[in-house]
Chain A
Amino acid sequence: DAGVIQSPRHEVTEMGQEVTLRCKPISGHDYLFWYRQTMMRGLELLIYFNNNVPIDDSGMPEDRFSAKMPNASFSTLKIQPSEPRDSAVYFCASGPGKSNTQYFGPGTRLTVL
Chain B
Amino acid sequence: AQKITQTQPGMFVQEKEAVTLDCTYDTSDQSYGLFWYKQPSSGEMIFLIYQGSYDEQNATEGRYSLNFQKARKSANLVISASQLGDSAMYFCAMREVNGNQFYFGTGTSLTVIP
Interface positions of A (Cβ within 8 A of B): 33, 42-43, 45, 48, 50, 55-56, 89, 91, 93, 99-104, 106-107, 109
> Which of B52, B100, B103 is the one whose CB lies under 8 Å from A55?
B100
A100 adjacent to B33 (CB under 8 Å): yes
User: How many Å lie between the Cα of A55 and that of B99 in the bound state?
Assistant: 11
Instruction: Contacts A43-B91, A89-B43, A100-B50 given; indicate if A48 touches B35 (C-beta within 8 A).
Output: no
Shortest beta-carbon contacts, A-B, top 8: A104-B45, A100-B33, A43-B104, A100-B95, A42-B106, A106-B44, A101-B50, A45-B102
**CB <8 Å contact, A107 and B44:** yes
A-B contact pairs, 5 of them (CB 8 A): A42-B104, A45-B102, A100-B33, A102-B35, A107-B43
Number of interface residues of B (CB under 8 A): 21
* CA gap between A95 and B46 in the complex, in Å: 13
In the complex, the answer to whether B45 meets A93 with C-beta atoms within 8 Å is yes
On chain A, the residues within 8 Å of B103 by CB distance are: 45
**A-B Cβ contacts below 8 A, count:** 44
Besides the contacts A42-B104, A109-B43, what 10 more A-B pairs have beta carbons closer than 8 Å?
A33-B102, A43-B91, A43-B107, A89-B43, A91-B45, A99-B50, A102-B102, A103-B47, A104-B45, A106-B44
Which residue on A lies nearest to B33, using beta carbons? A100
- Residues of B near A42 (CB, < 8 A) are 104, 106-107
Contact B44 A104 (CB under 8 A): yes
- Please, what's the 1-or-0 string for B10-22, where 1 marks a CB less than 8 Å from any CB in chain A? 0000000000000
B101 at the interface (CB under 8 A from A): yes
**CB-nearest residue of chain A to B42:** A106
Task: Tell me the complex Cα distance, A55–B96, Å.
Answer: 14
Nearest Cβ in chain B — how far from A35, in angstroms? 8
Our pick among B43, B52, B101 for the contact of A56 (Cβ within 8 Å) is B101
Q: Which of chain A's residues has its CB closest to B31's CB?
A: A100
In angstroms, how far is the closest chain A Cβ from the Cβ of B36?
A: 11
B100 and chain A: residue at smallest CB distance: A55
For residue B34, which residue of chain A has the nearest CB?
A100
Q: Is the CB of A102 within 8 A of B47?
A: yes
